[in-house]
Amino acid sequence: MFTPKYPPQDTAPPATAPTPTVYTPVPVQPSAPSPVPAAPVSNRPTVQLTPGSALALATGGGAVVLVVGAVLVSLLLAVAITGVSVAVVAVVLRGLVNDLHKGR
């Protein structure tokens, strides 16, 4: 079950090494420069911004910035409130532990 199973060996005859060919350079005659092909014409419609659509785009972008900013500020505020509450709890616990050690 755990012994490896190898595929059968190839029965093809061994490949012979190709005979090297002799390279003989051929001089190239300079010809007239070929014309540069024209850029292909795109069949996609172009986007043209009218003043109204540009205003709508700017308004939408501004709204996105305001929403993202409000979310980030609220997250920062949540972290700050959590930090302050943890600090208050630490001060109260320190006071309780000190009172226990003094035996009051």
Question: How much is the pLDDT for 40?
Answer: 77
Residue type, 44: R
Question: How much is the pLDDT for 98?
Answer: 92
Task: For residue 73, give every residue at least 6 positions away whose Cβ sits within 8 Å of its Cβ, in sequence order, or none.
Answer: none
Task: For residue 55, give every residue at least 6 positions away whose Cβ sits within 8 Å of its Cβ, in sequence order, or none.
Answer: none
In tens digits, what is the pLDDT along the chain, a chain of 104 residues?
788 887 777 776 667 777 777 878 878 777 767 777 777 777 777 778 888 988 999 999 999 999 999 999 999 999 999 999 999 999 999 999 999 888 65
Distance (Å, whole) CA 62 – CA 71: 14
> Which tokens hold the place of 102?
């003094």
